A = this chain, B = another copy of it.
Amino acid sequence: MLNDPMVLTPIVAAEPEKRIRDRSATEKAILNAAKALLAEEGFQNFGINAVARRAGCDKQLIYRYYGGLNGLVEAIGADLGTWVKDRIPEDTGGMFLLTYGDLMERLSLLFLEALRDDPLVLRIVAWEVSENTEQVRRLSEARSKALGLWLERMRGSLTPPKGVDAIAVNAILFAAIQHIVLSASAAEQCAGLALKTAKDWEKAATALKRIVRGVYG
């Protein structure tokens, strides 16, 4: 592509930038291209041709190495298992979490932050609520599994207050976070709340904290 102007000087041109024969490197290139593409463009224009173009290789290799798009998506899903480790701290940042409310406040903010700077996972979330294909189901499963593990680990021995359906409440809290970030990513606002500047996000985080504290004390 960069050499396009050379096309008219066919004699000297050459320099085909020989692709070296390295299967595992190519596999990685494909996987990375797919992840980058999904993160940057979303699932709309996500296809064999687009990934191959981005990876700079022939789409045939995607069929050979991953068995097509489905296999590639599955590979992304498997790769996603590392999301938690990479993106969300395992420790509590030196804080002592005395109550379940402390915990959930911290986890909510961590989750918010993590989502905000992981466009790939964010796109997957958008995909999850837009389609219900086998591809998406795989990805979704991988993501929720990773998330569940992280929650489990962070929770430790803390238990929610009696009389509160923590599963339902937390589902709503996390739904809210996901949607806020989704909405911000698409339109820089959500339900009339601007979500552009750091100050905007401060307000959102404060409101979120207030909500968590309201329900968990």
* A→B interface (CB under 8 Å): 42-44, 126-132, 136-137, 140, 144, 147-148, 164-165, 167-176, 178-180, 182-183, 185-187, 190-193, 203-204, 206-208, 210-211, 213-216
Contacts and interface: CB of A to CB of B under 8 A. Distances in A.
Given A132-B186, A191-B174, A168 B207 contact: yes
18 contacts: A42-B131, A128-B183, A129-B129, A132-B186, A132-B187, A136-B186, A165-B206, A168-B204, A169-B207, A169-B211, A174-B190, A175-B190, A176-B176, A179-B179, A211-B211, A213-B214, A214-B216, A215-B215
Given A168-B207, A193-B171, A183 B129 contact: yes
Contacts of A148: 192
Contact of A186 (B128, B183, B203, B208): B128
Contacts of A191: 144, 147, 170-171, 174-175
Copies assembled: 2
Nearest to A188: B132
A22 B21 CA distance: 65
Contact of A131 (B44, B164, B168): B44
